Structures are given as C-alpha cells and as structure tokens.
Amino acid sequence: MQGAIQSFQLHGNLLKNTILQHMRVMKPVMLPTVFSRFKSVSSPRLEEHGFESTTILDILKAKGKSADGSWLWCTTNDTVYDAVKSMTQHNVGALVVVKPGEEKALAGIVTERDYLRKIIVQGRSSKSTKVGDIMTDENKLITVTPDTKVLRAMQLMTDNRIRHIPVVDDKGMIGMVSIGDVVRAVVNEHREELDRLNAYIQGGY
C-alpha cells in the first residue's frame, strides 16, 4: 500500500511540474527537434509502475479519426499563409507536412512558433514563402510510436520544450498528439489510481 502511494506521489509531482512548466512557457507553440520518422527518441528512462498502462495508441483511439488535430496536414509546396489559415480554422498549433502527392510521406512539421520566428520576426511574406522553407525537417523530428507510454511521451515533450509530437510506426506517420492530449491522459490515469486507492482504504478490495 505504501509503495502504491509513493509511486502515485512520484508521478503526481511529474505531472504538476510539467503543467507548471508549460504554463510558464505557453508561448504560441513549439519548435520540435527529432530524429527519423522510423525511430522514436528515448529520454532518461522513467520508473514504470503497474498503473502506467495508457499508451499513445489509446490517445489516438480516444481522439478518433475525425478529431481536429489527429491528422491535419499540408504539403511542402503550400504557402505559409495557407498553413496558418488551416491551423486557425481547426484551432490547432501545428500541421504535419507531407511531400506533394504523397500523403503518407512525412516531410516534417510546421508550427505557430515557426511562423512567428521565421516569418513575423524576420519580416518575410507568408503568402510568398513555402511551408518547406520554414518547417522542421523530418530528420530533426522527435517522434513516438503507438506503444509509447504517455508518461514517456510527456517527459520527451517537456525535455525538448515541444507541444506536438508525431506518432509513427514501421509503415510511417499515423497521427499526432499534443501536450494537452498527453496531460489529459495522465490526469485520467491518476484519477483512476486514486479511485482504486480509496476503494482499497475503504475496504472495497
């Protein structure tokens, strides 16, 4: 029982620190840094406990195929103006970038932060600049797989100060999750663990 409480406190502190950090750096988005679309990055290994069962695949299933932000994309040849317009219409902070005519060929990711830093600050025109000129290229992307645990994904996003992360499998890109998706999943997981602890204390087991 004591071990269960200690494990909950450990990850409760991780969740609190992550939320506080993202509140402090909640500037309009992120600039991802990642590796190959076929290889996800691993950060310092978190201790794993029995109740950490939620994976990135669970988040994608909960979002659904038609959920805003689950698979929104543009091409490298689209203008930055059109990409930002799409983000605004769908209320998201990033778009997956694919190669023209190849919807499953991941080329990179473009975010609101890319727009601010590489267009607004530099005085460039969003209508004459292509997405491919400002995006984060695929060989610099940080990715996760469907089997990645949500706490591991949250650690990656916190360590690299990013708010969106592509999800890939051995066939390529299958979706994208945000820090909001991950935090909600962790909160739900801890809520369920609290319920189990309360039931145990009250003799429910």
Taking Cα atoms as reference points, which of 136, 126, 138 lies closest to residue 79? 126
**H, E, C per residue of 129-167:** CEHHHCCEEHHHECCECCCCEHHHHHHHHHHCCCCEEEE
The mean pLDDT value for 62-89 works out to 81
How much is the pLDDT for 18? 53
Position with higher pLDDT, 65 vs 54: 54
Pairing relationship of beta strands 94-99 and 73-75 according to DSSP bridges: parallel
In a domain, 43, yes or no: no
The mean pLDDT value for 74-80 works out to 95
In a domain, 28, yes or no: no
In a domain, 103, yes or no: yes
* Structural domain span for residue 81: 56-185
* Secondary-structure breakdown of the chain: helix, strand, coil percentages, each rounded to the nearest 5: 45, 20, 35
Q: What is the pLDDT of residues 21-31, one digit of tens each?
A: 544 443 333 33
Residue 55 has pLDDT above 60, yes or no: yes
Alpha-carbon span 179 to 154, nearest angstrom: 7
pTM (predicted TM-score): 0.64
Local structure of 44: helix, strand or coil: coil
How much is the pLDDT for 102? 77
Position with higher pLDDT, 102 vs 150: 150
The CA-CA-CA angle for residues 60, 64, 69, to 5°, reads 75
In a domain, 50, yes or no: no
Mean pLDDT is highest, among 11-15, 59-63, 139-143, for 139-143
How much is the pLDDT for 108? 92
In a domain, 157, yes or no: yes
Q: What is the mean pLDDT of the chain?
A: 75
In a domain, 205, yes or no: no
Q: List all residues 6 or more positions away from 21 whose beta carbon is below 8 Å from its beta carbon.
A: 158
CB 131 within 8 A of CB 97: yes
Q: In which band, very low, low, confident or very high, does the pLDDT at 138 lie, cut at 50, 70 and 90?
A: confident
Domain count, the chain: 1
CATH number of the domain that residue 99 is part of: 3.10.580.10
Would you give the distance in Å from CA 106 to the centre of its chain?
16
Q: How far is CA 146 from CA 50, 56, 169, in A?
A: 19, 5, 7
Q: In which band, very low, low, confident or very high, does the pLDDT at 10 lie, cut at 50, 70 and 90?
A: low
Alpha-carbon span 184 to 69, nearest angstrom: 15
In a domain, 3, yes or no: no
Would you give the distance in Å from CA 73 to the centre of its chain?
15
